[in-house]
């Protein structure tokens, strides 16, 4: 079981973040990253929004640290923990933009990038960036094919429905060609996309029973049977865990998500301060060694 964390501070969701996070910065983020790595956690996350409309910020939040620059800093103070974009919105980027920028990060970090990606749903943000919205699903599928063909390639070549390129040089490149791609989302379509193009399905906002139902249905399909290797399932338990305050309930909650089908967990914690957060990391690690 691979355990990771939803990194505090980098995303402030309304009614979901602790007060101390609003005044925290890169020092606190790095302290969490270093402590999580020391305790053996597998990954940490950082999500992407470029600009959130004011009326949508009430639900989605307004603070989103940029994953590329944030992970670039974290990579300099850590050595093993994986850096997972969760999620990077495919429609906001040309595939070679992702290959170049996150491939450089992969080189700088020693091959620790995980591309957690999603189709996106905030229409106003697409319009702001002059990115097509109505066919974003088909474009995302083509972008995923292009990423698979281009990651770690000095002279990438791809000819698809929406992206078509050759005779360009990309340098520096990632040190490998098999970057892990996690597909985010909440729907059957996102799971099908993960089966077709991803290494993992990483849904959010679903209950254990909803996850179990989607997986049970997917197991009956040819897409599941024909995969060359089993798909990983990274789930985010809700509500936040409190291994110090209620270790028994924490263990029970984790067992529910594992039973639902998780092969990995990306965790949130109850926390009142940076010290308390790090203590919760250690307490969870003692309950279920990472």
Rounded mean pLDDT of 112-125? 97
Angstrom CA distances, 233 to 215, 259, 260, 262, stand at: 9, 12, 10, 5
Per-residue pLDDT reduced to its tens digit, 183-233: 999 999 999 999 999 999 999 999 999 999 999 999 999 999 999 999 999
Specify the pLDDT at position 171. 96
The CA distance from 99 to 59, in Å, is: 31
The pLDDT, as a whole number, for residue 16 is 86
pLDDT at 119 over 80: yes
pLDDT at 288: 82
Q: Is the pTM of this model over 0.95?
A: yes
Q: E strand or H helix at 85, and its extent? A: strand 82-89
Q: What is the pLDDT of residue 290?
A: 53
- Using a 10 angstrom Cβ sphere, with 0-12 exposed, 13-18 middle and 19 or more buried, the burial of residue 262 is buried
pLDDT of residue 15: 83
Digit-coded pLDDT (tens) for 99-109: 999 999 999 99
> Structural domains in the chain?
2-287 (3.20.20.30)
Give the three-state DSSP class for 235.
Answer: strand
pLDDT digits (tens, 9 = 90+) for 4-15: 999 999 999 988
Q: How far apart are CA 98 and CA 260, in angstroms?
A: 32
Average pLDDT over residues 55-75: 95
Report the pLDDT value the prediction gives residue 278, as an integer from 0 to 100: 98
- What mean pLDDT is predicted for residues 166-187? 96
Q: Is the pLDDT of residue 289 over 90?
A: no
């Amino acid at each position: 079981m691979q355990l990771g964390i939803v990194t505090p501070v980098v995303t402030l969701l309304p009614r979901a973040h602790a007060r101390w996070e609003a005044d925290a910065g890169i020092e606190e983020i790095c302290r969490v990253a270093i402590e999580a790595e020391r305790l053996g956690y597998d990954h940490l996350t950082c999500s992407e929004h470029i600009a959130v409309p004011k009326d949508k910020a009430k639900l989605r939040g307004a603070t989103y640290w940029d994953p590329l620059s944030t992970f670039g800093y974290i990579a300099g103070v850590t050595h093993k923990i994986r850096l997972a974009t969760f999620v990077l919105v495919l429609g906001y980027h040309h595939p070679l933009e992702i290959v170049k920028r996150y491939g450089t990060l992969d080189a700088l970090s020693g091959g620790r990038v995980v591309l957690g990606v999603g189709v996106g749903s905030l229409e106003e943000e697409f319009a702001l960036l002059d990115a097509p919205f109505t066919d974003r699903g088909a474009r995302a599928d083509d972008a995923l094919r292009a990423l698979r063909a281009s990651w770690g390639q000095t002279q990438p070549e791809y000819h698809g429905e929406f992206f078509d390129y050759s005779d360009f040089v990309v340098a520096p490149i990632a040190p490998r060609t098999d970057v892990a791609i996690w597909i985010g989302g909440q729907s059957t379509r996102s799971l099908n996309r993960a089966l077709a193009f991803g290494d993992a399905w990483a849904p959010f906002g679903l209950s254990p029973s909803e996850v179990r139902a989607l997986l049970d249905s997917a197991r009956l399909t040819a897409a599941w049977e024909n995969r060359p290797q089993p798909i990983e399932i990274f789930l985010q338990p809700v509500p936040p865990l409190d291994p110090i305050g209620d270790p028994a309930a924490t263990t029970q909650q984790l067992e529910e998500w594992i039973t639902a089908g998780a092969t990995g967990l990306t965790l949130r914690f109850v926390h009142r301060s940076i010290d308390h957060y790090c203590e919760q990391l250690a307490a969870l690690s003692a309950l279920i060694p990472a």
